Chains A and B, each alone.
Chain A
Amino acid sequence: MLNINEILQTIDMVKSRHLDIRTVTMGLSLFDCVSENKKRTAEKVFKKIVEKAGGLKRTADSLSARYGIPIVNKRISVSPVSLIAASSGGFLETALALDRAAKEIDVDFIGGYTALVQKGMTDYEKRFIISIPEVLSRTDRVCASVNVASTKAGINMDAVALMGEIIKQTAKATADKDGIGCGKLVVFANAVEDNPFMAGAFNGTGENDRVINVGISGPGVVLAAIEEIKGADFSAVAETVKKTAFKITRAGQLIAMEAAKMLGANFGIVDLSLAPTPVKGDSVAKILEEMGLESVGAHGSTAALALLNDAVKKGGVMATSFAGGLSGAFIPVSEDAGMIDAVTRGALSIEKLEAMTAVCSVGLDMIAVAGDTPASTISAIIADEAAIGAVNNKTAAVRIIPVFGKTSGFAEYGGLLGIAPIMKTSPYSSEKFIARGGRIPAPIHSNRN
């Protein structure tokens, strides 16, 4: 029998602490849409998405009503389009079909405009990557990602160099909106195949068709729990985060199982990530500050984040047998009011953020830089992050936005993407380093066989 306090606790989490299910994402395999004709491929892709995922929004809305928990985003992830449209060469046509399909079935985003080039880039993958700026400027809901490194393969520095240029071109193509196209483009090391979060979601080649992956949320709930144990030592903090993460994840697990059942789809994973939003109190930065830091970015921030990330996972894996995706704490700058404040007051730099990415999921996320930042500097930032991912056997990513016409102040995106303070990059050149090209070999511990 439930007791009244447990019921009230759940209600309070939703009412005052922003507990929500961040996303219900359906993964679709598009390999049955491959053809040699551009138009035919795009038509098959559109038809498949509308037919197979048409009920996603309705189902999510009905689950939200039944359980009284908001489901913020409904999304689709598809097989990497670099492979699906390789035969026809219709990358742009397929992207436009994805965008139309997303609008037709009213989902928020569709991910999978993706290439996996960690070891080598084929001619068609290069053509695909070169299409990204145009695709992101001509579509609204399509998200793109490129995996340039892995622990097994090392770092493809040719791809890293190219991505610096592509990010600059994407920013330029969407310069009228402060480079928003780059908010829909992630460069990965060790990309995961079942990620429900954007912009990096795609349905990997080892994945099933029609698979439901759910991303939870809840920084506000964790913050509230830590606020209740003021001054307690770190073992108590870890225990509290763990218990809270368990509860949040169970809500996600329930929604995922029920969504899969109602849609006649396969249940995939629950992603345990703590994903902040720009709403006050729904902030990962504030959790770290509640642990005793005057501002996130102060010495101690990396340790605080390491504890948080680990405790979230420990609580989460007890709550679901199928934890997956990125699972950890996210530290996007523009999407977290506490991070924005810390950058604005000068407490948080790209260098400190980079250190923090070594102990949490994802990486340098939603970071705005001056529009005149050289492409080679952006590539070098990607290379650093890829090295952290490849060497530490973890996912790492860069989502960086050069804002044309601005060297300071803010870029404004609205909604979940928030506002991004322009951050300083090193004034020293990495151009010759990036110009070398080739591959950085896989780290020694990749040889586990």
Chain B
Amino acid sequence: MRAIISVIGRDKKGIIAKVSGCLYGVSVNIEDISQTVMGDLFTMIMTADLSDASSDISHINAALQEIAEEMRVEIRIQHEEIFNSMHKI
């Protein structure tokens, strides 16, 4: 399955490194990254492939939440199907 990982918050050094490091640790392959800065808000969207992941989505989420707390940003991981359902006919 593919998931969308979104990071929203104030821009800080090392956000991408921390998130990608975490994903690498559980064998999640990052397929695409895009980022924008809106004002002082940093938004990063990653598309990731979880088919070889060594953990399930709720455990990966728990690990990401530790980073979110440390970096004071919001991080979400969501199955991509929710976005496809809502935005594609």
Contacts and interface: CB of A to CB of B under 8 A. Distances in A.
A7 B85 contact: no
B29 interface: no
Interface of B is mostly: strand
A436 B67 CA distance: 70
B6 A11 contact: yes
Contacts of A248: 86
B82 A254 contact: yes
Contacts of B86: 6, 10, 247-248, 250-251
Nearest to B32: A1
A4 B45 contact: yes
Interface in A53-85: 62, 65-69
Given A66-B79, A254-B85, A7 B57 contact: no
B60 to A, nearest CB: 10
Contact of B58 (A10, A65, A247): A65
A444 interface: no
B36 A4 contact: yes
Given A62-B58, A65-B58, A251 B43 contact: no
A2 B87 contact: yes
Contacts of B43: 4, 8
B4 interface: yes
B8 A10 contact: no
Please classify how large the interface on chain B is, using the bins under 10, 10 to 19, 20 to 34, 35 or more: 20 to 34
Interface in A156-214: none
A302 interface: no
A65 B36 CA distance: 25
A68 B78 contact: yes
B76 A11 contact: yes
Interface string A248-283: 101101100000000000000000000000000000
A429 to B, nearest CB: 53
Contacts of B80: 2
A6 B45 contact: no
B24 interface: no
Interface residues of A, number: 21
A69 B82 contact: yes
B84 A2 contact: yes
A247 B36 contact: no
A65 B3 CA distance: 12
A66 B85 CA distance: 14
Given A7-B4, A62-B58, A65-B57, A251 B84 contact: no
A354 B5 CA distance: 47
Contact of A2 (B4, B8, B36, B61): B4
Contacts of B47: 2
28 contacts: A2-B4, A2-B83, A2-B87, A4-B45, A6-B83, A6-B87, A7-B45, A7-B83, A8-B6, A10-B86, A11-B6, A11-B8, A11-B76, A15-B74, A65-B61, A66-B78, A67-B79, A67-B82, A68-B76, A68-B78, A68-B82, A247-B86, A247-B87, A250-B85, A251-B82, A251-B86, A253-B85, A254-B82
Interface of A: 2, 4, 6-11, 15, 62, 65-69, 247-248, 250-251, 253-254
Pick the 7 closest A-B CB pairs, nearest first.
Answer: A68-B78, A67-B82, A6-B87, A250-B85, A247-B86, A254-B85, A65-B58
